[in-house]
Structure 1
Amino acid sequence: MYPPIPTAAWWVLAFASCAALVAAFLPLASGPAQRARVWLMPTVMTVVAVAFTLVRGHDLDAVLSLFVAASMGLALSTVGNRKVLKKINRDKVLYGELTDPMERPFPMRVVYQAIGAIVLMFVVTGWLRGVNMVAGLVP
């Protein structure tokens, strides 16, 4: 069994995953408002993770590892579907919101790849931690 990863290393991984998240989503933003939301996304995620740790009293390493897994999974799935997501975003800007979502449905392969990337990152993070992460979060 490997020695546990120190909390400082999890913080470095969390900042790197935030940078990856911004780098993945920023090219998809079509205007200043969307770019501001992209920059705000990791900040909100960090505030929620830290608040979750403080309010619920969970282990900071467990919450940081889950944060890294979720943000890296989101970044990977976004990079993998960049062309499709950029086209969807461009169509939304050109044609506005659709009243009937089935008029132009969201491609399911994008959803499947996003789920796969997020699950893969949770498995990798669990392997890195060498513990059952969910057991540490259930009261």
Structure 2
Amino acid sequence: MTDASTSDTTRNAQDIALIWKHTHNDFKGVFEGQRLIMYPAPRFCIGPIDGLSDKEFACKLKYARLKECCEKRDKALMPIMAKYDLVAMFQSTQQWRESFDSFRAFLSEINDDVVYGAIIKEIQEANIVFPNDAGVFWP
């Protein structure tokens, strides 16, 4: 994954679409067919994603990649959590999902070693990617 401090600021359509997807609806809109987002301080105006400075673009791309990784992780984890009737526990917090180790700590609340072991095995077999384990950090 690209770190916001690197010079990789190539503006390709895929990265622009990813930034758009993970920009909150309150901070984006469409005007005359053009996708616009709110620019960060000190400008506080709206403009196209490819109009961001290199630093701003890299920062927003880093955040979008993190959110994309989290979205894929949660989509892959949900069937496993449902299988063990842990959806309510899973949905009760967004914490404990940064890495596989932190998620294992979260699951340690389960007082059944057999179920705990089965869940861990399923997660490993599903090759679920956690952000920190993939090198996707924020900020």
Q: Same fold (TM over 0.5)?
A: no
Which bracket does the TM-score occupy, shorter chain normalised?
0.3 to 0.5
Larger Rg: 2
The one of the two structures with greater contact order (alpha-carbon pairs below 8 A, sep at least 6) is 1
**Larger helix proportion of the pair:** 1
Instruction: Compute the TM-score of the two structures, normalised by the length of structure 1.
Output: 0.34
